[in-house]
């Protein structure tokens, strides 16, 4: 077993741990925004780690895996942000304890300027 293999095992272990935390977060978090948060950040990190570990096991695939990683790095946050914004515009409430709602003023201003047009 080479050094790369050991490194790959460590990365795969950490990545699956991160994915487990992400899954746990989706179940345990109280409202939709925190759930999206857990489902995006932790799972993106986990998948990237697993892709990196795959690159350690099979160095010949690294270019394709790099592209795959870039793809996931873009799509995962994008889809989550679209989901979160869509649910915000649909009027899904966030938790009272979440603190300040910085988007409230901006969305309102946008709606006003639309009415004027």
Draw the binding track, 10-49, toward other proteins (x: CB under 8 A; -: no contact).
Answer: ----------------------------------------
CB of 7 to other proteins, least distance (A): 27
Which one, of 12, 4, 7, lies nearest residue 46 by Cα?
12
Q: Which of 10, 20, 24, 78: binder of other proteins (CB under 8 A)? A: 78
**DSSP letters of 44-109?**
HHHHHHHHHHHHHH-GGGHHHHHHHHHHHHHHHHHHHHHHHHHHHHTTPPPPGGG---THHHHHHH
CB of 33 to other proteins, least distance (A): 15
3-state secondary structure of 114: helix
In angstroms, the CA 26 to CA 37 distance is 9
The answer to the question of residue 66 lying near other proteins (CB under 8 A) is no
The answer to the question of residue 71 lying near other proteins (CB under 8 A) is yes
Contacting positions for other proteins (CB under 8 A): 67, 70-71, 74-75, 77-78, 81-82, 85
């Amino acid at each position: 077993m080479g050094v790369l293999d050991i490194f790959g095992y460590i990365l795969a272990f950490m990545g699956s741990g991160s994915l487990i935390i992400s899954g746990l977060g989706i179940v345990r978090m109280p409202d939709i925004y925190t759930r999206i948060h857990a489902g995006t950040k932790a799972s993106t990190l986990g998948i990237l780690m697993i892709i990196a570990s795959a690159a350690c096991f099979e160095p010949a695939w690294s270019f394709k895996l790099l592209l795959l990683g870039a793809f996931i790095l873009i799509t995962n946050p994008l889809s989550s942000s679209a989901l979160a914004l869509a649910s915000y515009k649909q009027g899904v409430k966030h938790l009272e304890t979440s603190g300040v709602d910085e988007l409230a003023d901006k969305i309102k201003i946008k709606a006003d300027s639309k009415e004027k047009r």
